[in-house]
Amino acid sequence: MTTARLSDIAAQAGVSEATVSRVLNGKANVSAATRQTVLAALDVLGYERPTRLRQRSAGLIGLITPELSNPIFPALAQVIEQVLSRHGFTPVLCTQTPGGSTEDELVEMLVDRGVAGIVFVSGLHADSTADHDRYARLAGRGVPFVLINGYSEKIDAPFISPDDRSAMWMAVQHLAELGHERIGLAVGQRRYVPVLRKIEGFTAALREVLGHTPEEAEELVHHTLFSVEGGHAAAGALLDKGCTAIVCGSDMMALGAIRAVRQRGLAVPQDVSVVGFDDSPLIAFTEPPLTTVRQPVEAMATAAVDALLEEVGGNAVQRGEFMFQPELVMRGSTGARAR
């Protein structure tokens, strides 16, 4: 391996080139943690591990996600897979697609393959109308699992969530400071826990920051699909209600909202401000660049894997919800209300 490559790996791992060389040559005097860090750096940079350093997989971990057309899901999956690989586990990615396998069918397939544990992202656990006994049955089969995005007190497992209420509060506060008074929310169906929380945060902010009555605040919430088309339809309805700013439940919806604004001959942000949610990859390169609330993907994915692997190792993790603080990222799709 050339010196240039050694320096790259050393920089990635945060160790000296001499340490990298010792690990690659199988020498002693390197701690297990440092050795693992160097091997992880090799993986991240796309270098093949030397044959003698390739270890047998510590086991399979299932990862069940919704469709991958929303970039936030592949972003979460990528970090989860990277962290699992660093710990020696092999991720098995299962994607739910319309008309494809159900969550229950994917779980059966993973259990049949002998997975050591499962990560659920935005699954049926997030649907308040779904039968949550399925998770108790899974636990009864001795399969540890962790759940991302969506909380139910009926499920005895670790949950990882962004603070959806805080996210909406930040968005409304930002728009109110820009002079907007009629702010609409385009969001998914009410039965989903993250949606309920977004509505709670949004309506509370309208009441406390802008002085709206509860009825006025609810009137400015529009339910739709979490898609570009859904955002387009919701924005049209909210513009008809005189909204000069629209907060969306996802970045994809925000792109649809911007399209709806332009179709009416209006400009973003000169006439209407738009805020997304997720800060999915590439969203900073839209025109205009999208103001959005960033989900802390790396922290959430890492915490989910850490919790699951503790369970896999036989160490009970605190049940309940670990909540992560999102961050408002201000870009070009929001501006002062037109006078």
CATH class of 164-295: alpha beta
Residue 301: phi, psi to the nearest 5? -65, -40
Q: What are 133's strand-pairing partners?
A: none
Rounded to 10°, the helix 164-177/193-210 angle is: 30
pLDDT score recorded for residue 52: 63
Distances (CA, A) of 76 to 120, 148, 213, 271: 11, 10, 37, 34
Residues 299-313: tens digit of each pLDDT: 999 999 999 999 888
Name the DSSP class of 16. -
What residues does CATH 3.40.50.2300 cover in the chain?
A: 60-162+296-324, 164-295
Structure confidence at residue 3 as a pLDDT band (50, 70, 90): low
pLDDT score recorded for residue 59: 85
For 245, left (φ over 0), alpha (ψ -120 to 50), or beta?
beta
**CATH annotation of 3-53:** 1.10.260.40
Contact 305, 88 (CB under 8 A): no
Contact 75, 281 (CB under 8 A): yes
Contact 169, 205 (CB under 8 A): yes
Our measurement of the distance from residue 174's CA atom to the centroid of its chain's CA atoms, rounded to an integer in Å, reads 22
Q: What are 146's strand-pairing partners?
A: 119
With b for 16 or more beta-carbon neighbours within 10 A and e for fewer, the 89-98 pattern comes to bebbebbbee
Closest CA to 163 of 154, 175, 171: 171
The string of DSSP codes covering 82-97 is HHHHHTTPEEEEEE--
319 has a pLDDT exceeding 90: no
Q: What is the pTM of this model?
A: 0.82
How far is the C-alpha of 330 from the C-alpha of 56, rounded, in Å? Answer: 45
pLDDT score recorded for residue 304: 95
User: Strand 291-294 and strand 327-329: pairing?
Assistant: antiparallel
The residue among 338 and 301 whose pLDDT is bigger is: 301
258 has a pLDDT exceeding 80: yes
**CATH annotation of 60-162+296-324:** 3.40.50.2300
pLDDT score recorded for residue 2: 54
